Amino acid sequence: AQKITQTQPGMFVQEKEAVTLDCTYDTSDPSYGLFWYKQPSSGEMIFLIYQGSYDQQNATEGRYSLNFQKARKSANLVISASQLGDSAMYFCAMREAPWDGGGADGLTFGKGTHLIIQP
Partner 1 sequence: DAGVIQSPRHEVTEMGQEVTLRCKPISGHDYLFWYRQTMMRGLELLIYFNNNVPIDDSGMPEDRFSAKMPNASFSTLKIQPSEPRDSAVYFCASSLVHPEGPEAFFGQGTRLTVV
Per CB under 8 A, residues contacting partner 1 are 33, 35, 37, 43-45, 47, 50, 52, 54, 91, 95, 97, 99, 101, 103-112
- Write down the least CB distance from residue 86 to partner 1, Å: 19
Taking the least distance from each CB to partner 1, the nearer of 17 and 98 is 98
Cβ at position 111, least distance to partner 1 in Å: 5
Cβ-based nearer residue to partner 1, 13 or 89: 89
Nearer to partner 1, 42 or 119 (CB): 42
Which residue lies nearer to partner 1 by CB, 30 or 106?
106
Least distance (Å) from partner 1 to the CB of residue 58? 16
Please answer whether residues 51 and 68 qualify as being in contact, where contact means their C-beta atoms are separated by less than 8 angstroms: yes
Residue 19 CB, nearest approach to partner 1 (Å): 21
Residues in Cβ contact with 102 at an 8 Å cutoff, skipping those fewer than 6 apart: none
Which contiguous run of DSSP H or E holds residue 25? strand 24-25
Contacts of 30 (CB under 8 A, 6+ apart): 53
What region does 81 belong to: left with phi over 0, alpha with psi -120 to 50, or beta?
A: left
CA dist list (Å): 1 to 5, 27, 116: 10, 10, 29
